[in-house]
Amino acid sequence: MCGVIGYCGHRPAVPLVLEGLKRLEYRGYDSAGLAFLQVNKLEVIRSAGKLCNLEEKVAKTANTFAPVSIGHTRWATHGLPVEKNSHPHKSNNNALAIVHNGIIENFQELKDELLKKGYVFYSDTDTEVLANLIADELDCLLQAKFSKNYAELQTEIEHTPQLSAQYLPYVEEAFCNAIKKAYGAYAVVLLSPLIPRHILAARLSAPLLLGIGIEEHFIASDVPAFLPYTRDVVFLDDNEFVTMSAGSYEVKNIYSGEKIAKTVHHIPWDLQGAAKDGYKHFMLKEIMEQPRVLQECLVGRVQDDLVCLPELDTLPVPDSIRIIACGTSYNAGLWSQYYLEQFAEIPVTVEIASEFRYRKPILNKNELIVVISQSGETADTLGALRLCREKGYPVLGICNVLGSSVAREASASVYTQAGPEISVASTKAMLSQMVVLLLLALYYGQRKKLACPVKEILHELRALPDILERALPAMRERAKELALQYAFAKSFFYLGRGTGYSLALEGALKLKELSYIHAEGYATGEIKHGPIALIEPDFPTFALAFDDDNFSKVRSGILEIKSRQGRVISVLQEGTSLENDDIWYIPKTNLPEFLALPAMQLFSYEMADYLGKDVDQPRNLAKSVTVE
């Protein structure tokens, strides 16, 4: 979802902000813009569509060497993705410009108040309302102190920028006053000619981090935005705001104004981790690096054939587990139900976060809540986490992004250690979640002293990176062949049974989000309860038939489809066979899901690439869904 960035330092800020916006592109966006000061006057450049449009406009603007700038990639929530709705938004009196990620829920009430005072709105956004609300607060404060409003002070400000220090407390106060009146979830960054060397930024339930460089500071929605310059990061918490300049930063509570001492974290990623590395798309790179991800997920979690999850040692063994997540992370949770019940003998419920949080859920006594989120910032997942914490339940967060809200707010968190996932479509993150969830099942089996095959499963897991590494090149070729053959399809079924069921849901999700081909995932046994009516020659099925106790049943399901002239791609493990047109063999292991998942990811990737879709940034999607 929207990306924000701000820079104060010794480098030309405008090109740096543009570069930063490019590294935030993966979050999904439909327009972009930036602001800087030109002879102490606000300049705003905005453009609908891709960043190249903004770049073209910036290139035509003279003297963009300002040392302070803010920028934004917008994912439309209020109003169409057109230039007038792009950020930054200026206040009517040009006293400030802001960029904003999130939603201001009471924007209409605030707007009505401002309209009564004579403010004019040029966009359909909630952000422009906030910009004018801050300016309105500021004018009141300036009037009270200097007996002049911003417009009356403007000439003085333009000619004596050295006076800016005296205005800083008033801009800070106005910023906080306005934010206290705005309900919702947001990250806001402000630039004003009154304080030309500073940027203010505040956070409420939307990611915002400060990058600490030498004589330069960055503020952004995510680390890649400033990764070439620094890996030292301060994570802002809800209700905090920061005032930063090139040489200093100060974090305070929005409500009390108290200073807050923040810890500086060192991010272990490097730029290469967030670069395409010679691959055509981030998605392909992220699929192909899964053997390494499998290996790294195990680091520090396995010792002497035992699973170590010290993060959980202080929590009691639960009587039941409730897993809550969205999208791909939900599918990973659903997958783990089989293993948690089998190895840990703990009953498991799996819930979609947006449904869970708006029911009146009845939680069991001694229940552990597990929330899964790659980004750790998904609004619904966070909402569910908070609800469970308020009810006094322990929450385990499984997430990938270091220092994310889920990681910080959960009672305990386990990182999936997959490295930055840039492509909007989640691939390696799911694989890493599956590893952690499998380890969780073994861990509880161990703690309950059950006869669970910890040693055997760990052996299988350790062998997987090599098996997958060797299999991937041929898998990619097969995915390409099949994508070409099936590109005619307007709809697809994905079928799986047992541990294949949740993967079928994931396969369908990947195909629709990337190639825009309609796809539905079903439990194989469900197909004859209605969906089979749709089968005809141009409605193909992608079926997972693992070599397990379910094989013969899955085989019958596939044959039923074939006898209705349906075409089927069957993913089979080597050593099994089936009467079918398009078989896709994956190597034999006892954990076939870890090979079937990349196979399905590659099929969707090749299909989308063949059909000329925007693989890394599919239309209408955002990497991290920070609004409900």
Chain residues in the site for ligand M6R (CB under 6 A): 326-329, 373-375, 378, 381, 424-426, 513, 621, 624-625
- Can you list the alpha helix ranges (DSSP code H) found in 147-279? 150-159, 164-181
Q: Residue 622 CB, nearest distance to ligand M6R (Å)? A: 8
Going along 335-394, which residue ranges are E strands? 348-352, 367-373
CA distance 105 to 84: 20
β-sheet bridge partners, residue 570: 543, 583
Which of 524, 512, 518 lies closest to 604, judged by CA?
512
Q: Residue 527 CB, nearest distance to ligand M6R (Å)? A: 24
160 and 118 Cβ atoms separated by less than 8 Å: no
State which residue, 570 or 624, has the beta carbon closest to ligand M6R. Answer: 624
Residue 252 vs residues 170, 176, 203, 301, 363: alpha-carbon distances, Å: 15, 10, 11, 37, 37
State which residue, 190 or 418, has the beta carbon closest to ligand M6R. Answer: 418
Burial class (CB in 10 A: 0-12, 13-18, 19+), 291: buried
State which residue, 149 or 400, has the beta carbon closest to ligand M6R. Answer: 400
State which residue, 295 or 354, has the beta carbon closest to ligand M6R. Answer: 354
State which residue, 418 or 535, has the beta carbon closest to ligand M6R. Answer: 418
Please give the single-letter amino acid code of residue 173: E
Burial class (CB in 10 A: 0-12, 13-18, 19+), 150: buried
Tokens 């870890």 found at = 594
Q: Is the dihedral of CA 612, 615, 617, 621 positive or negative?
A: positive
Q: Which two tokens stand for residue 439?
A: 């380890």
Q: Residue 327 CB, nearest distance to ligand M6R (Å)? A: 2
Q: Residue 68 CB, nearest distance to ligand M6R (Å)? A: 31
252 and 258 Cβ atoms separated by less than 8 Å: yes
CA distance 185 to 625: 12
Q: Residue 412 CB, nearest distance to ligand M6R (Å)? A: 18
State which residue, 96 or 508, has the beta carbon closest to ligand M6R. Answer: 508
Tokens 């099942």 found at = 441
State which residue, 240 or 506, has the beta carbon closest to ligand M6R. Answer: 506
Q: Which two tokens stand for residue 79?
A: 């109003």
State which residue, 86 or 331, has the beta carbon closest to ligand M6R. Answer: 331
Q: Residue 373 CB, nearest distance to ligand M6R (Å)? A: 3
444 and 336 Cβ atoms separated by less than 8 Å: no
State which residue, 328 or 541, has the beta carbon closest to ligand M6R. Answer: 328
Q: Residue 406 CB, nearest distance to ligand M6R (Å)? A: 8
The conformation of residue 263, written as its DSSP 8-state character, comes to P
70 and 4 Cβ atoms separated by less than 8 Å: yes
Residue 349 vs residues 340, 381, 550: alpha-carbon distances, Å: 10, 15, 22
CA distance 246 to 218: 9
167 and 194 Cβ atoms separated by less than 8 Å: yes
CA distance 626 to 628: 7
State which residue, 424 or 535, has the beta carbon closest to ligand M6R. Answer: 424
Q: Residue 47 CB, nearest distance to ligand M6R (Å)? A: 25
Tokens 């840990």 found at = 344
SS3 label, residue 69: strand
Cis peptide before 592 (omega within 30 of 0): no
- Identify the helix (H) or strand (E) that includes residue 604: helix 593-610
Q: What is the DSSP string of 306-350?
A: EE--GGGTTSPPPSEEEEEE-HHHHHHHHHHHHHIIIII---EEE
Name the closest residue to ligand M6R (Cβ).
Answer: 327
Residue 261 vs residues 196, 236, 264, 328: alpha-carbon distances, Å: 25, 11, 10, 36
Q: Residue 617 CB, nearest distance to ligand M6R (Å)? A: 11
Which of 553, 535, 537 lies closest to 545, judged by CA?
553
Q: Is the dihedral of CA 266, 271, 272, 277 positive or negative?
A: positive
Q: Residue 325 CB, nearest distance to ligand M6R (Å)? A: 6
State which residue, 42 or 424, has the beta carbon closest to ligand M6R. Answer: 424
The residues carrying an active-site annotation are 2, 623
Max intra-chain CA distance, the chain: 87
Q: Residue 433 CB, nearest distance to ligand M6R (Å)? A: 8
